[in-house]
Amino acid sequence: MAASDERRLDVLRAIVEDYVHTREPVGSKVLAERHSLGVSPATIRNDMAVLEEGGFIAQPHTSAGRVPTDKGYRMFVDRLAGVKALSAAEKNAIETFLNGAVDLDDVVTRAGRLLAQLTGQVAVVQYPSLRRSGLRHLELVVLGERRLLVVIITDTGRVEQRTLELDATPDELVLVALRARLNAAAAGRRLPELRTALDALADTFAPEDQPLVARVAEVVTDTLSQEGEERIVLAGTANLAHASMRFEHALRPVLEALEEQVVLLNLLTEMGDHSSGVNVRIGHETQLSGLFETSVVTTGYGSDGDAVATIGSIGPTRMDYPATIASVRAVARYLSRILGA
């Protein structure tokens, strides 16, 4: 990168940081006073003119200052040299708060509340997907003469229950054997290897018991392959009211967009590639008109380093990106640790 390009990137960084902090358009004189850019105000003005011509900053109304555009924020995020580290106190608070959860619902709810508190923005937490979950344990409970309850516990802490109506009362000894063999065959497996393991299970039973085995295997695989069970939890929506001055236009479109959970789920799914750690969509990159003045920062969480769901923060494009990225990463890391325990 040429020295002039590097200098203009420094100017852009300074504009973004000042604008996030002050919420006021930034001028060349202010940049020269607040930042050690090593050049004169005249050079800074020239660099700002180049940045404006490139679409990285813009002049709002008749103000002498400039503000970053979506393109400018994107450049800033892509060129982040580092992410603000959380303090030891913040890390301890995260661990203590999440470790106090009693079940999956509590874990997800606490993670959302915590992230919203850390960022001062809206937190969105996707429940672990059944399709991407492995099995921890299967339980079979006789409810009556011809009813059998199948309890499915995933390695992400989800508990699903399905009831089977049978033609006859199941033999207790057969259920004991089925329970043991199901857990041995299915533990830790995910689709499609789970289907293969369960399909082979029926052959290990007597012919008269194979229909029952096949039905139980079918309800387990059908449950884990469901596509309509995805859901999310939002926390900190009230934070947007405190941040309303950060939105150039009305807050209402943002709130309406957040109410559309199916739309949010689709956005999280589109942002699901977290191979680089954190994914950031800025302004119009969300492709949702209600979120054109927001940015979405997400990452995956799960057990054994395998992401099974997404957690993220939604706030104005004028957000503190390094701090938000650090908070999202930290909560996801502790969330993964708890699920993997």
What's the DSSP call for residue 208?
A: G
User: How many domains in the chain?
Assistant: 3
The residue range of the domain holding 56 is: 3-78
Structure-model confidence comparison of residues 108 and 63, the more confident one: 108
Q: What is the CATH number of the domain that holds 145?
A: 3.30.390.60
**Tens-digit pLDDT profile for residues 31-71:** 888 888 888 888 988 999 999 999 999 988 766 789 999 99
Q: Establish how many alpha carbons lie within 13 A of residue 118's alpha carbon, considering only the half-sphere containing its beta carbon.
A: 33
User: Is the pLDDT reported for residue 76 higher than 90?
Assistant: yes
**Tens-digit pLDDT profile for residues 166-207:** 888 888 888 899 889 888 887 777 766 777 888 888 888 888
Q: For the residues 305-326, what does the mean pLDDT come to?
A: 89
Same structural domain, 120 and 259: yes
In a domain, 59, yes or no: yes
Q: How confident is the model at residue 319 (pLDDT cuts 50, 70, 90)?
A: very high
Weakest-pLDDT range from 16-25, 112-121, 229-238: 229-238
**Nearest-angstrom CA–CA distance, 29 and 16:** 15
In a domain, 83, yes or no: no
Same structural domain, 219 and 141: yes
Same structural domain, 282 and 214: no
Q: 149 - beta bridge partners? A: 141, 163
Strand boundaries in the chain, DSSP class E: 57-58, 67-68, 122-126, 135-144, 147-154, 159-165, 232-235, 279-282, 294-303, 306-316
pTM, full prediction:
0.77
Q: What is the structure's pLDDT at 1? A: 53
Q: How confident is the model at residue 246 (pLDDT cuts 50, 70, 90)?
A: low
Pick the closest to residue 163 from 227, 219, 225 (CA basis). 219
Same structural domain, 201 and 144: yes
Same structural domain, 118 and 262: yes
Q: For the residues 228-239, what does the mean pLDDT come to?
A: 81
Q: What is the structure's pLDDT at 332? A: 92
Same structural domain, 64 and 193: no
